[in-house]
Amino acid sequence: MALLQSTMFISPLSVKSKPYHYSISSFGFRRLNLNLHYRRQRDGAVVMATSGDVDAFTKYSGYLFEDGASSEAEFLEEYNLARIAAIYRRKPILVFRRFVQIGTTFGQWFASRYLDSLLERSDEMFKVRATELRRILIKLGPAFVKIAQAVSSRPDVIPPAYLEELSLLQDRIAPFSTKVAFNLIEEELGSPIEVLFSEISPEPTAAASLGQVYQARLCSNGQVVAVKVQRPGVQTAISLDIFILRFLAGLVRRAGRLNTDLQAVLDEWASSLFREMDYMAEARNGVKFRELYGGLQDVFVPKMYMDRTSKRVLIMEWVEGQKLSEVRDLYLVEVGVYCSLSQLLEHGFYHADPHPGNLLRSSDGKLAYLDFGMMGEFKQELRDGFIEACLHLVNRDFDALAKDFITLGLLPPTAQKDEVTKALTDVFQNAVNKGVRNISFEDLSGNLGRTMYKFKFQIPSYFSLVIRSLAVLEGIAISFDPEYKVLSSSYPWIARKVLTDSSLKLRSTLQTLLYKDGVFQIDRLESLLNESLRARTEESLTRKEVQNTDSDREIKQVLSFTLTEKGAFVREILLQEFVKGIDALGLATLDSVTSGAASRLPIAIPSSSALFVSEEDISNLRTLHRLLQLISSFQKTETQNKEVKYSSVEEGKIMPYREEASLVLYRMASAQDFLPILAAIPELPAESQQQLLRLPADLAGKLLSRAVARTIRRLFV
C-alpha cells in the first residue's frame, strides 16, 4: 500500500467516551463527529454501524462477514485449506450465493462488452467498461483486487484505458470508516488514541484492498509515522473467494487439460496473501528487508515499530514521495533492478508484490520500498538454476537449457530431452538472435504456449512470483521508455555473479560453458567479461555516472576482478589458456625456424610441422591471439556498448598458423597495447599488486610443467 504524501493532522484534545469527538488543531480542518461503532459479538461476528456512507466492498459483499460461523475465517492464524473447507462446507447457501454473485457480476460485464461489439461501439465504450471493471473488482473485494494489481503494471499487455483504471486499485480504493479504524487501533494496541499519538490525520491518506493508512505523530518520541489498519472482514471474504476459485481452477485444469497445477499455484498465492494480512509478520519482514537491502545505494526501507504493532495494526516510519510509475526516473528503475537481483539471486529473500503503489521516489530521490506483507524465499539451488538458465539461453545452449527447466521444476524429469531441445531452439532462437540487450519478456513468452502444452510444462508456484517481481519493474520502465528491457539490465549482473561466485555448482557451470568438447570458447568469456563491465555495482550506481565508462576504468575493473580472491577461478582458467597458447607459440616458432632452415638445404626434407605442431596446438595458438585481442579491446572506446558477435574457432582456420604466430609475436612485442595496463597497476590495492607480481612465476611454473609433460608423452606414447 502506498503511503501518499499528506499534511492532514488533527490533535485529539479530549476523549472521554464513545463516540469520539476530535477538536481541530491549528491546521484548520472542520469539526469531525465520528459517530461509528466497531465491536465483536460473542459468536465472533463483526458488526458495523455508521451514520455515513459505507464503502462499496462492505455494502456489496458485507454479508460475507455478517454471519458468525463464516467469520471464523477472520481469525485464522495462517492459510489452512482444510479449516477453510470445513467452515464453508457447513455454509452451502452462503457459498452458492457468493458463487452466483461473482458469476452474474462478471457475466453482466462480459455481456455488455459483447453487446458493444455487436453494436460496433466498442471503441467509444472502452473507457466506460474499464471503469465498470474497476468498480466490480472493488465491490467483490480484496481477492479480485489483488489479482488485478498483478497485471496493473504492464502497459505492454493491458490497454491504456484499463491500465489507468486498474492502477487506481493500488492505493485509491474507497476507505472504510475512520471510526472503525480508530476503534480497531485501540483494541489491537490496548491504549487510547490520545495516549498513542499526539496528532493523527482525520481521514486516511491512502486506502488499498487490505487496509488503509493514517499519518500520525507518536507521543513517545514525536516521530511522524504511518499507521496501517486492516480492513474489517477481508480475511473472511478472501477465504471464501479462494475456496470458490480453487474449485473453478480445478474445473479449468481438467477441461483445458493443463499441465500446470492451478490449484497449487492458487494455494501458494493464498498462503502469501494470508501472510500479508498478518501485520506482525509484515513488520518482521520489513525489519529483515531493511537489514539486507536498506544499506544499498539510493534504496530506502522505512523503520518498523515492532513494539507498537499487532496482527491488524502496523506502525512504521512515514515516507514522503511519489509513485515510481508517476515520475520519469529510469535511474531508480535501474536501482530497483539491482536491488531485485540482490534479493532474488544473492540473498533469496525478495519482495513478491512490487506493484507501482509499493515503489516510491522519496523526497530525497531514493527508491523507497513499502508493504512487506508478501515476501518470497528463493532457495539456493533454484537461484543457481535460474542463473544457469539465463546463461544457457543467452549462449544458445538449448540442450543445457532443457536440463535447467527440469531443475527449476518447469519440466517433468520424464520429458524427452532431445525433442524439448529442438522445441526450445525453435521458440527462443529468434529472440536470442536480437542480442541479450534487446530481449524482452514478451519475446521469450511469444511462442512458448504451444510448446508448454506439448511437453507438459508446469509453472511452479514460486516461479510466477519471481518473474512478476522483474516484470513489474520492466512494466514501469516501459511506460516512459518503450525500448527498456529488464533482461538487458539483469544479464550483466548475472554475468558478474557467475564470474565471481564461489559456489561449486556455478563454477562447474562456468567451466562447462567455457569449454565445449575440450575447446576453450573465448567468445563466451569475452561476452561474460564485456557484460559484467556493464553491471551496476553499489560503487557505480550513482546518478552522475554516465552510461559509457572510459577505457581506463574498464582496465582497472578487469584487473581488480582477476587479481582478487573472487576472480581466482577465472584467473586460473586464463593462466592455463595463456600457458597452452605460449607453449603452442613456442612450437610454431620452432617449426618456422626449422622449416626456414630446411628450405635452404640443397635436398628436400619432409615437413616437420606434424612433428612439432598438432591440431590442438593450432587451436591453442588462436586462443592466445584472441586473448591478446581481448586485452587490447578494453582500451578502445569504440568497442564499447557493442553486442558480442559469436564466432566459432573454425573461423580462424582461414589464417595459416605460422602467419598467426607472427601476429601474436608482433602483438606481444607491442608496448602500446600494454601501456594502459601498466598505468593502472599503481591504482590497484596492495593485495592485487602482490598477486600481479606472483603471476610471472606461476606462468613460468605451469609452462615448464606443460613442456615436460608434452616431452614425456611424445617420447613414450
Tell me the catalytic residues: 353
Nearest by Cα to 471 from 451, 482, 485: 485
CB atoms within 10 A of CB 297: 16
Nearest by Cα to 352 from 226, 283, 268: 268
Rounded distance between C-alpha atoms, residue 471 and residue 158, angstroms: 13
DSSP assignment of 454-505 equals HTT----HHHHHHHHHHHHHHHHHHTT-TT--HHHHHHHHHHHHHHH---HH
DSSP assignment of 509-570 equals HHHHHHEETTEE-HHHHHHHHHHHHH---TTT--TT--SS--HHHHHHHHHHHHTSGGGHHH
Rounded distance between C-alpha atoms, residue 164 and residue 158, angstroms: 9
On whether the CB atoms of residues 175 and 55 are closer than 8 A, the answer is yes
C-alpha cell at 634: 578494453
Residue in the block written with cell 499534511: 7
Rounded distance between C-alpha atoms, residue 586 and residue 26, angstroms: 88
User: What does DSSP say about strands 299-300 and 367-369: parallel, antiparallel, or unpaired?
Assistant: parallel
First to last CA, the chain: 73
Rounded distance between C-alpha atoms, residue 228 and residue 314, angstroms: 5
On whether the CB atoms of residues 139 and 61 are closer than 8 A, the answer is yes
Rounded distance between C-alpha atoms, residue 146 and residue 137, angstroms: 9
On whether the CB atoms of residues 411 and 451 are closer than 8 A, the answer is no
C-alpha cell at 201: 490525520
Backbone angles phi and psi of 227, in degrees to 5: -110, 110
Residue in the block written with cell 457459498: 95
CB atoms within 10 A of CB 121: 12
Sequence-distant (≥ 6) Cβ neighbours of residue 691 within 8 angstroms = 563, 564
